[in-house]
Amino acid sequence: MNCKLIDVFYRKCDNIKILKQAVRKNCGIVMEFKKRNTNTMRTRGHHKQVLLFLIAVVLPSSVLIVLTWHMIGQQQELSEKRLADERLRLATEIGQKLLVHLEEIKLHEVSATASGAKSLNTLEYTSGEVILTGLADGERLLLPWEMSPTNNRLSMGKTAFFQKIRRAEEEEFVRRRYAQADTLYLEGIEEAQQPSQQAYARLLRARVLTKSDELEESLAEYRRILAVSSEITDEHGIGFCLYAAGHLLERGDSYNEVMQLIRSELSAQRWLSPAESYIVLDLVNVLIKSGPEFGIRQQAAEDCQRKILKHISRQEKALALQKDFGKLALTAQLKSPEQEPESTWAAYGEEPWLVSLAPALPGGQRLAIIVRGESILDSITSSTPYSETILANVRFTTGAGVEGESLGPSFPGLKLAYATDGKASLLSDWGPQRSFYLIALLLVLCVTLFGAYFLWRDVGRELQMAEMRSQFIASVSHELKTPLTAIRIFAETLLLGRPEDPQAKSEYLDTIVNESHRLTRLLNNVLDFSKIEKGNRTYRKEPACLSEVVNAAAQATQYPLRQQGFHLNVHMEGELPEVRVDRDAIEQAIQNLLSNAMKYSGESREIDLRVQKRDGQAVIEVTDQGIGIDAAQQKRIFEKFYRVPSEENERIPGTGLGLALIFHIVQAHGGHIEVQSIIGKGSTFSIYLPLENKR
């Protein structure tokens, strides 16, 4: 700043205060510029750190994670392929075993049938896995009950017997002359030439006797029919005894006899016709309803119900098979009966039945053998020595588009489906390896995250430190610039011979002295701090009177206190014992506290300096009624370079070193420092020093 500028300042600023303000303002601009510069540098540094972090940590670990993940995927694929191969191999093996087993069954069944050892209508087969056998008549399948012998079946005709029956029915239904009808039915019974004709005539007689209210006689007739063999049937193949049983039960008669009849029918190992099955089911239902609620008889009836229902469901599936027989994958064989059938087993239905054709029987027809697929599969899988996990829940599936392994050309449309929930366990050999990879991946992730966290923390700290340092440099420069500028301006003003007033002159000189004191204090702080950092700071402790030390410090701050209009209240407790201290250091500490009290007093102009003895220690307290410190910040203000980050604080110049120095000095003296502060109300800093002589 040249003389011209000083002249302008001097002319414009009619008093010393305005001149000082101008100096401060000038330096403030410099400070602001430096701060901005520092911020830009900090941001650049920050970006660099982030980039470094990304390249050094995030990139390699991401590559590692992707590679491991890829490897896990590949391993998984490999295991799945191995599993698929294994499944295919097993399916082929099971298919071969199945074929051998089925062909054996077929052979036994054919030879038993061909030798005439068993009838086609029987339910007893050479193997428990056979469900039914039928005759393939071209593309039509003859079911067992359609092949039952017809010699005991009623055959209608125009014989004398039937003419008599016609006449009797005319009497019964047209003329309603029941007695005549009864007589004619009786004659019919006597003239009957076959058991079926006799049973038929009895049934009609029992009916007419019921109509003519001869109930006892009609019941007796029904009972007689009930005793007739179930093989004596009407023209539809239904045993007459079943009709009689229905009538008897309707009248609440012959419960036990009917039960007996049904039980023997169900255990006769003979395929009932569908009509017979439904009649038996009706009779069983009536037995259940009319019988006693509990007890053996009821149980027997329910048992019969279960049996007949099972029979009916098998029969229904057999009827459905009969309908679809031509569509089975055996068509080629069905169309050319002379050709030897291959070993083909076609699947039919949900829980598939396996259907195959045997070579021609002596009569030229082909025997169709139908077996229960699942039970054979169970017996084969249980005898196949292989991992239980693969074969658990294995089942047959049919139909196009269904997932599963083909069992070979002998089983068209039939596939082996492995349970999907077994898949995980099927991969079990890859399981431990995969767990190892996953754990390793997890470890890498954890280590990377830890590393990232520590790096991030260190970078953060470094950034914070760098920020604090640059702030410190800016603050120190500013702190130096302000008193230096003031000294120069006032000295140059005096050199120009202005002002002429001797009192003003002495005020200028006072300012120069005071600003140079301030400079010294600041430089002392910086130098001391540098010594502390290097570990060179030493203290020359000597016994001293504390009140003298405190007074000296208060005296040294008199000028700035007065200049800024502060009122310092000093309270000394009488008879303070001696303390062993480095006088200069403690004075410096008290001056720093007083200087802070002035800086952070806000509008208040009252400062208290108190010295007393408490709990066997000497306590020096500096209290202001200024801006105060937030509780969360109170712990950090003793850190080096730390300044409370508030807007208000930013406007107050400072280096963040004062309290760090006091902290070090007090600790070196075996004491400690405390702060109590309330935002907006003020702060009290207390230095505790051990007494030389604890009296």
DSSP state of 144: G
Output the smallest distance, CB 517 to ligand ADP, in A. Answer: 17
Q: How far is the CB of 450 from ligand ADP (least distance, A)?
A: 34
Closest residue by Cα to residue 455 from 42, 56, 62 = 56
* Cβ neighbours for 350, distance < 8 A, ≥ 6 positions apart: none
Q: Which is nearer to ligand ADP, 18 or 631 (CB)?
A: 631
470 vs 655 by CB, closer to ligand ADP: 655
Rounded distance between C-alpha atoms, residue 520 and residue 522, angstroms: 5
Which tokens sit at 186?
């009786």
Residues 314-373 that bind ligand ADP (CB under 6 A): none
Q: Which residues contact 605 (CB under 8 A, 6 or more apart)?
A: 564, 565, 566, 567
Mask: binding to ligand ADP, 197-236, rule CB under 6 A, as x and -? ----------------------------------------
Specify the residue, 384 or 646, whose C-beta has the smaller distance to ligand ADP: 646
Q: 3-state SS of 328-344?
A: CCCHHHHHCCCCCCCCC
Residue 230 or residue 596: which is nearer to ligand ADP going by CB? 596
d(CA 535, CA 169): 137
Closest to ligand ADP by CB, 245 vs 629, is: 629
Question: Is the distance from CB of 492 to CB of 3 less than 8 angstroms?
Answer: yes
The three-state secondary structure class of 419 is: coil
Least CB distance from residue 660 to ligand ADP, whole Å?
6
* Residue nearest ligand ADP, Cβ-based: 654
Closest contact distance (angstroms) between CB of 578 and ligand ADP is 28
Considering beta carbons, is residue 106 or 478 the nearer one to ligand ADP? Answer: 478
Give 309-377 as a 3 state SS string. HHHHHHHHHHHHHHHHHHHCCCHHHHHCCCCCCCCCCEEECCCCEEEEEEEECCCCCEEEEEEEHHHHH
Tell me the number of residues near ligand ADP by CB under 6 A.
Answer: 21
Query: Could you tell me the smallest distance in angstroms from the CB atom of residue 528 to ligand ADP?
Result: 13
| Nearer Cβ to ligand ADP (416/644) | 644
For residue 626, the minimal CB distance to ligand ADP (Å) is: 5
- Smallest distance from ligand ADP to CB 4, Å: 35
Q: Give the distance from CA 493 to its chain's centroid.
A: 82
Q: How far is the CB of 555 from ligand ADP (least distance, A)?
A: 20
Query: Taking Cα atoms as reference points, which of 234, 306, 236 lies closest to residue 244?
Result: 234
What is the SS3 assignment for 12?
A: helix
- Compose the 576-615 pattern: x for residues touching ligand ADP by CB under 6 A, - for all others: --------------------xx-xx---------------
Residue placing its CB nearer to ligand ADP in the complex, 27 or 660: 660
Residue 581: its H or E element: strand 578-581
Selected range binding ligand ADP among 249-257, 312-320, 450-458, 620-628, rule: CB under 6 A: 620-628
- Kindly report the number of other CB atoms within 10 A of residue 319's CB atom: 12
CB of 586 to ligand ADP, least distance (A): 16
The full DSSP string for 676-688 is EEETTTEEEEEEE
| φ, ψ (nearest 5 deg) of residue 186 | -65, -40
Query: Which residue, 274 or 602, has its beta carbon nearer to ligand ADP?
Result: 602
Provide the β-strand partners of residue 353: 348, 372
The Cα–Cα gap between 49 and 11 comes to 52
Q: What's the closest the beta carbon of residue 637 comes to ligand ADP, in angstroms?
A: 4
Q: Which is nearer to ligand ADP, 239 or 658 (CB)?
A: 658
330 phi and psi, to 5 degrees? -105, 5
Position 504, amino acid: A
Q: How far apart are CA 619 and CA 690, in angstroms?
A: 9
User: What does the buried/exposed string (b/e) look like for 599-625 if buried means 16 or more CB atoms within 10 Å of the residue's CB?
Assistant: bbbeebbebbbbbbbeeebbbbbbbbb
Task: Please tell me the distance from the alpha carbon of residue 85 to that of residue 390, in angstroms, as a whole number.
Answer: 12
The Cα–Cα gap between 5 and 18 comes to 15
**Given its phi and psi angles, is residue 133 left (phi above 0), alpha (psi -120 to 50 degrees) or beta?**
beta
| CA pair distance 398, 413, nearest whole angstrom | 6
Q: Tokens representing 278?
A: 């439904």
Of 394 and 532, CB closest to ligand ADP: 532
Q: How far is the CB of 657 from ligand ADP (least distance, A)?
A: 6
Cis preceding linkage at 499, omega within 30: yes
As measured in angstroms, the least distance from the Cβ of 644 to ligand ADP is 3
Please give the Cα distance from 466 to 474 (Å, whole number): 12
In whole angstroms, the minimum distance from the beta carbon of 687 to ligand ADP comes to 13
38 or 212: CB nearest ligand ADP: 38
The residue among 277 and 623 lying less far from ligand ADP, judged by its C-beta, is 623
- The residues in 638-667 that bind ligand ADP, with binding defined as CB under 6 A, are 643-644, 649, 654-660
Whole-number minimum distance, CB 612 to ligand ADP, in Å? 19
Q: How far apart are CB 582 and ligand ADP at their closest, in Å?
A: 19
Helices then strands, each counted (H, E), the chain: 23, 15
By beta-carbon proximity to ligand ADP, the closer residue of 188 and 626 is: 626
443 backbone dihedrals φ, ψ, rounded to 5°: -60, -45
Maximum separation of any 2 CA atoms in the chain, in Å: 173
Select 180 or 649, whichever has its Cβ closest to ligand ADP. Answer: 649
Nearer to ligand ADP, 31 or 659 (CB): 659
* Closer of 113 and 601 to ligand ADP (Cβ): 601
Nearest residue (CB) to ligand ADP, 133 versus 470: 470
Candidate list 218, 625, 683, 686; residue touching ligand ADP; CB under 6 A = 683
Distance of closest approach, residue 647 Cβ to ligand ADP, in angstroms: 12
Give the pair of three-digit tokens for residue 563: 């200049």
CA distance 407 to 393: 17
Among 91, 308, 618, 629, binds ligand ADP (CB under 6 A): 629
Please tell me the distance from the alpha carbon of residue 20 to that of residue 13, in angstroms, as a whole number: 9
Q: In whole angstroms, how close is the CB of 15 to ligand ADP at the nearest point?
A: 28
Q: Which residues contact 95 (CB under 8 A, 6 or more apart)?
A: 406, 407, 408, 410, 411, 416
Residue 626 binds ligand ADP, judged by CB under 6 A: yes
* Shortest Å distance, C-beta 37 to ligand ADP: 20
Which parts of this chain interact with ligand ADP (CB under 6 A)? Answer: 596-597, 599-600, 624, 626-629, 637, 643-644, 649, 654-660, 683
